[in-house]
Amino acid sequence: MAASSSSSSAASAVLLASLVVCGACLFGSAEASGAAHRVVDPEWHPATATWYGSAEGDGSDGGACGYGTLVDVVPMKARVGAVSPVLFKSGEGCGACYKVRCLDHNICSRRAVTVIVTDECPGGVCGGGRTHFDLSGAAFGRLAVAGAGGQLRNRGEINVVFRRTACRYGGKNIAFHVNEGSTSFWLSLLVEFEDGDGDIGSMQLKQGVGDLFS
């Protein structure tokens, strides 16, 4: 087991070096890849939202994206949520950042809340092709004007608008976490703190020795 762990760690380190060399593959720079991976959307779109977990909590530890306890510490700090399959995209949506704003001017703040996708909401109000955000209690409450978070949470499901936005992880560098269960024969990676307005287009990986990438 120790050998497998060591192999996975080595692979992760080599992957990081590979991605530094292949920055255009990761970040979809305008010079190298045009706008293919640029995802910031200036338009607002309709959706619905609910909340889960404790009223001021982070929803759940981890979730389908595998962030674990990172959801409750800076820079995420409970600004997280689950999304319906149309946004989750079989895991491709993990780590995406969205600005979400509710619409009732009597209780909703005019300021949008930025949330990070850390989980999937696969059924119920999230099913049937709906665009839905199931936010942490803390993130949902921040949609309201000051002091009205509890009142907004009591409404349950609300109408919102959303748009994709650039992620901002101040002081953090992109990181590659080797997921539990990885072995020398099977490697699973979680990309953390993907900053900026692009999506990862591809990764290149090679073993600790040799020059071939795959």
* DSSP element (H, E) containing 33: helix 30-33
Q: Which domain holds residue 153?
A: 45-165
Label each residue of 167-186 as H, E or C: ECCCCCCCEEEECCCCCCCC
- Residue 2: pLDDT band with limits 50, 70, 90: very low
78-98 confidence digits (pLDDT tens): 588 899 999 999 888 888 899
- Residue 105, domain member (yes or no): yes
Tally of domains within the chain: 1
- Residue 98, domain member (yes or no): yes
DSSP code of residue 150:
H
Provide the token pair at 53: 């977990």
- Residue 122, domain member (yes or no): yes
* DSSP element (H, E) containing 102: strand 97-102
Per-residue pLDDT, 115: 92
Cβ-based neighbours of 203, under 8 Å, separated by 6 or more: 15, 18, 19, 25, 26, 189
- Residue 118, domain member (yes or no): yes
Cβ-based neighbours of 5, under 8 Å, separated by 6 or more: none
Residue 197 has pLDDT above 70, yes or no: no
- Residue 1, domain member (yes or no): no
- Residue 146, domain member (yes or no): yes
- Residue 102, domain member (yes or no): yes
Question: Residue 81 corresponds to which amino acid?
Answer: G
What is the CATH classification number for the domain harbouring 105?
2.40.40.10
Burial class (CB in 10 A: 0-12, 13-18, 19+), 147: exposed
CA distance 199 to 26: 7
Per-residue pLDDT, 9: 37
More confident residue, 190 or 197: 190
Residue with tokens 């992620």: 167
121-130, 155-164, 189-198: least confident range: 189-198
- Residue 78, domain member (yes or no): yes
